[in-house]
Chains A and B, each alone.
Chain A
Amino acid sequence: MDCSPGSGSEVAGAGTGGRLRGERPAAALISAIGRSARTALSAHRCTHRATRLLLVAQAGATLFESGGDGLTAGRRFNADATGRADFATALAERRSEPLVVLVDRGDEVYRRERIPPLRGASRRALLTRRARQMGSEPVYQLTLGCGREVGGRGDEWVLFCAVPAGEWLTDWLDLALGQRVPVRCLSSLPALMPALWRLAADRMPGEHVLMVSWHPASGLRQSVLTRGRLQFCRCVPLSWSALEADPALCSAQIERLLQYLRGHGFLPDGALLQVYLLGVLATLKQDPAAMALSAARLETVSDAALARCIGLEDGDAAAIDAVLAWVGLGHRPDAAYALPRYSIYADLAAAQRGLRAVCAGMSVLACAWAMGTLTDAQAARAEAAQLTRTAAGVTQALSAEAERIAEAPVEPVRMQAMVAAVSAWHAARVMPDRALQAVSEALDRRPTVKLLRLNWRCEDVIRSISDGANGTANPPTPRPGCAVVVELHADCAAACPDQRSAMREAAALAAALRGHPDVSAVDLVRAPIETGAAQPIRGDAAMAPLDPQAFLLRLVFVHRHG
């Protein structure tokens, strides 16, 4: 570990009213103390933003102000009307900034108790009940866990701390309350000792540690930690002049504490206790060897190097308060406000926790929604780009074919329809020559019959054209274009001697036509003489028996494509 004096000189003025710049002491501490302190200080810097800490002692109060980049030390207010007025003015300057109140008082009440292994609400209820049993009327109560017993049922040791009520503290708190300044937390120095130890854990190893620190406003504080948990803490109200007059007082107090620890079982037999002196030797300008602690198994370590490593100059005893203030700004002990008029700060803390939870929940929900939406949007964007590229590829691939289609004389669909219409025409066309040929062949076989008149017609030809070419994409099915009907007027007057023979010729001609493959039906529409039973017959027997032997045949032809 690098404990260069230069790193300590950066904060030389911290205890004399100068400014502890966040970057510089942090850099000095980080380079000196190590990774654990670096992490802790980084966390502190995040929580120190625009927060003030009021260190209240018997003689007065000290206000530390922190911004985003550092901690300002050293506005002292005496415990009189002038000091409180100055403090009220200082509060009014930045009323919205929260205040952390740190109590440094020698007459704190401590009680160390063993409680059964409970958790959750049961443990909280038990701790509340035990804390109320402390008797006095404290301003606030603090509960510190000291760890569990290794053997047995695993009982837990708890240290109950209470700060007694008194004007020395309530005057300051009432000022904050009257100015509606939010008090973020109320704590006392013992609660900060574990955090202070963790800050310098690289330099102060050991399972059992005794930290002795000198606080000008209150005296000599002795804190015992086991595996980082506070077991005991007390403040001996020694004045500077008393210590200066008799430097052995310090070692005597330590000796008394060691005897108390041994007597009350704080230290197991054979346990090694390491003693760290913070600001004490520098204040007393005394060699550690001169402390002459009696216990042979105790290690006494000089505090000079440690003081430099955490940014304290020898002789700058007030700097320990600044470091504790720095630690206290980021520390939130499990404290309860015992006086009802300060319970609003508990409500305030609960409301702040609720607001933070709401903000965190909202942030999480908003972030989740935003992330989901952004992910969907990104996917949509990528898909849109892909689709656009695909569409462009399709369009580009079709350009040659589209050009060829555009060059066609007509649109392909129209072309198909027109070709279909022409096909329908051809399907509908029937020429009369086949029917004429059939009639000629029949007449050739009956030479006695003379053709008088022939009427050929193709019925509904126009409609068949219309129906055949419907203009759809599918070509029309060829269908018969028309019904071919031929009406044949003939007679055999020249060759038939009587009506009976004329009837025979007409019947023979009809039979001949029926035999033709193209003829589907032959009807004798008008016979040479009507002799049917349903027809009336009138005549004149005196007249010649041979009238013109004319008859009319009606032929229907089968449709065949020619």
Chain B
Amino acid sequence: MADHTRLFPLLRRELCAVALLVVVAGIALERVKAWAGHEAEQLAAARAGLSAAEQRRAAVERDLSLLTTHAAAYNVAVAAGHIGEEDRLSWLETLHEARETLGLPVLRYALRPRTPLTGTSEVAQGVDFAQYRSELELDLGLLHEADLGRLLRFIEREAPGFFLPEHCDLQATDASQDAPLSEPRIRAHCRLSWFTLSLPASRGDPE
């Protein structure tokens, strides 16, 4: 068995060389490892970048497809007044015009303030637009029950925007068949809901 305490002084050059080799190799390996780690990070970043680019491409292709599919319908909806601010003046003008055109003895209206449509929070679903509703109460004096249908069709055709009739109550009056045409035979009370969509201010509401 070798006496190591006697050997160490004789081996000091070799031991120093081994220590130096270990240190140099350690430094070199550490540098190599650091460089390899850096390259691995670069590769991960490049992969993430490519993945992001692929996702962007998929999103752009999807958006482009959606744009191609829905742009025309969207433009039609904007032109029809379904999207954007309510054109209340046009609505009132349409009501006045309808009374004159259809010869209705009585047409009184009450347009209530615009309110968000409860339960349709598209913002929460990430779509970021809101639906609004405005109630329109109509008190009508009709000569015949068919006048109601003609009135609603007139409004549908002439007024910008979209409405839904919710309720109509017709009641015969005491007017006789020989009464003048200015006296209504039927009294009607209807409630209509006028719907619009609007965008947040960030993107801008379409005009």
Which residues of chain A are near B6, meaning CB under 8 Å?
Answer: 344
Q: Give the Cβ gap from A432 to chain B, nearest Cβ, in Å.
A: 5
Q: Give the Cβ gap from A446 to chain B, nearest Cβ, in Å.
A: 15
A384 to B40, CA, bound (A): 9
**Closest residue of B by beta carbon distance from A352:** B14
Residue among B29, B52, B129 with most chain A CB within 10 A: B129
Asked if B113 CB lies within 8 Å of chain A CBs, one says: no
Decide if B133 touches A462 in the complex (CB within 8 Å): yes
**Closest residue of B by beta carbon distance from A97:** B13
- Given the known interface contacts A182-B10, A422-B162, the answer about A355 and B25 at a Cβ–Cβ threshold of 8 Å is no
A423 to B197, CA, bound (A): 12
Decide if A458 touches B166 in the complex (CB within 8 Å): yes
Which residues of chain A are near B126, meaning CB under 8 Å?
Answer: 471
Which residues of chain B are near A454, meaning CB under 8 Å?
Answer: 145, 169-171
Binds A, one of B15-23, B85-93, B94-102, B103-111: B15-23
Which residues of chain B are near A385, meaning CB under 8 Å?
Answer: 46
Decide if A436 touches B145 in the complex (CB within 8 Å): yes
Asked if B180 CB lies within 8 Å of chain A CBs, one says: no
Which residues of chain A are near B175, meaning CB under 8 Å?
Answer: none
Which residues of chain B are near A370, meaning CB under 8 Å?
Answer: 28-29, 32
Decide if B2 touches A359 in the complex (CB within 8 Å): no
Out of B7, B25, B71, B77, name the residue touching A344 (CB < 8 Å): B7
Decide if A417 touches B170 in the complex (CB within 8 Å): no
**Closest residue of A by beta carbon distance from B24:** A366
Q: Number of A residues contacting the other chain (C-beta, 8 Å)?
A: 90
Decide if B2 touches A380 in the complex (CB within 8 Å): no
**Closest residue of B by beta carbon distance from A433:** B149
**Closest residue of A by beta carbon distance from B11:** A351
Decide if A461 touches B33 in the complex (CB within 8 Å): no
Asked if A277 CB lies within 8 Å of chain B CBs, one says: no
A391 to B148, CA, bound (A): 63
Q: Number of B residues contacting the other chain (C-beta, 8 Å)?
A: 89
Which of B113-132 touch A at CB < 8 Å? 117, 119-120, 122, 125-129, 131
Asked if A298 CB lies within 8 Å of chain B CBs, one says: no
Decide if A96 touches B12 in the complex (CB within 8 Å): yes
A451 to B142, CA, bound (A): 14
Asked if B67 CB lies within 8 Å of chain A CBs, one says: yes
Q: Give the Cβ gap from A365 to chain B, nearest Cβ, in Å.
A: 9
Residue among B7, B18, B40, B153 with most chain A CB within 10 A: B7
Which of B1-60 touch A at CB < 8 Å? 2-3, 6-7, 9-15, 17-18, 21-22, 25, 28-29, 32-33, 35-36, 39-40, 42-43, 45-47, 49-50, 52-54, 56-57, 60
Which residues of chain B are near A348, meaning CB under 8 Å?
Answer: 7, 10-11
Which of B156-195 touch A at CB < 8 Å? 156, 162, 164-172, 193, 195
Which residues of chain B are near A362, meaning CB under 8 Å?
Answer: 21-22, 25
Decide if B167 touches A456 in the complex (CB within 8 Å): yes
A452 to B145, CA, bound (A): 12
Q: Give the Cβ gap from A532 to chain B, nearest Cβ, in Å.
A: 28
Which residues of chain B are near A16, meaning CB under 8 Å?
Answer: none
Which residues of chain A are near B168, meaning CB under 8 Å?
Answer: 432, 455-457
Decide if B195 touches A391 in the complex (CB within 8 Å): no
- Given the known interface contacts A380-B39, A380-B43, A419-B74, the answer about A373 and B33 at a Cβ–Cβ threshold of 8 Å is yes
Residue among B6, B168, B203 with most chain A CB within 10 A: B168
Q: Give the Cβ gap from B151 to chain A, nearest Cβ, in Å.
A: 9
Asked if A76 CB lies within 8 Å of chain B CBs, one says: no
- How would residues 514 to 554 of chain A score, 1 for a CB under 8 Å from any chain B CB and 0 otherwise? 00000000000000000000000000000000000000000
A373 to B9, CA, bound (A): 37
Which residues of chain B are near A452, meaning CB under 8 Å?
Answer: 171-172
Which residues of chain A are near B57, meaning CB under 8 Å?
Answer: 394, 397-398
Out of B43, B195, B204, name the residue touching A425 (CB < 8 Å): B195
Which residues of chain B are near A422, meaning CB under 8 Å?
Answer: 73, 77, 82-83, 162, 197
Residue among B10, B50, B120, B150 with most chain A CB within 10 A: B10
**Closest residue of B by beta carbon distance from A457:** B167
Asked if A415 CB lies within 8 Å of chain B CBs, one says: yes
A423 to B206, CA, bound (A): 18
Residue among B42, B120, B122, B146 with most chain A CB within 10 A: B120
Decide if A381 touches B206 in the complex (CB within 8 Å): no
Q: Give the Cβ gap from B102 to chain A, nearest Cβ, in Å.
A: 13
Out of A352, A363, A455, A458, name the residue touching B165 (CB < 8 Å): A458
- Given the known interface contacts A377-B40, A415-B71, A428-B164, the answer about A451 and B172 at a Cβ–Cβ threshold of 8 Å is yes
Out of A383, A466, A473, name the residue touching B117 (CB < 8 Å): A466
**Closest residue of B by beta carbon distance from A443:** B145
A481 to B25, CA, bound (A): 79
Which residues of chain B are near A470, meaning CB under 8 Å?
Answer: 125
Subset of 21 A-B contacts with CB under 8 Å: A181-B10, A351-B7, A366-B28, A383-B46, A387-B50, A402-B56, A405-B67, A409-B206, A410-B74, A410-B129, A410-B206, A413-B63, A423-B73, A425-B164, A428-B164, A433-B146, A433-B153, A452-B171, A457-B168, A465-B195, A469-B120
Q: A384-B46, A436-B148 are in contact. List 10 more A-B contacts (CB 8 A).
A: A347-B2, A348-B7, A398-B57, A410-B199, A413-B66, A414-B127, A425-B195, A432-B148, A457-B168, A469-B131
Q: What is the interface of chain A, defined by CB distance below 8 A to chain B?
A: 96-98, 180-182, 344, 347-348, 350-352, 355-356, 358-359, 362-363, 366, 369-370, 373-374, 376-378, 380-381, 383-385, 387-388, 390-391, 394-395, 397-398, 401-402, 404-405, 408-419, 421-423, 425-426, 428-433, 436-437, 439-440, 450-458, 461-463, 465-466, 469-473, 481
Sort A-B residue pairs by CB-CB distance and give the 10 closest, nearest first. A433-B149, A412-B66, A471-B127, A347-B2, A471-B122, A387-B46, A384-B46, A412-B63, A377-B36, A182-B10
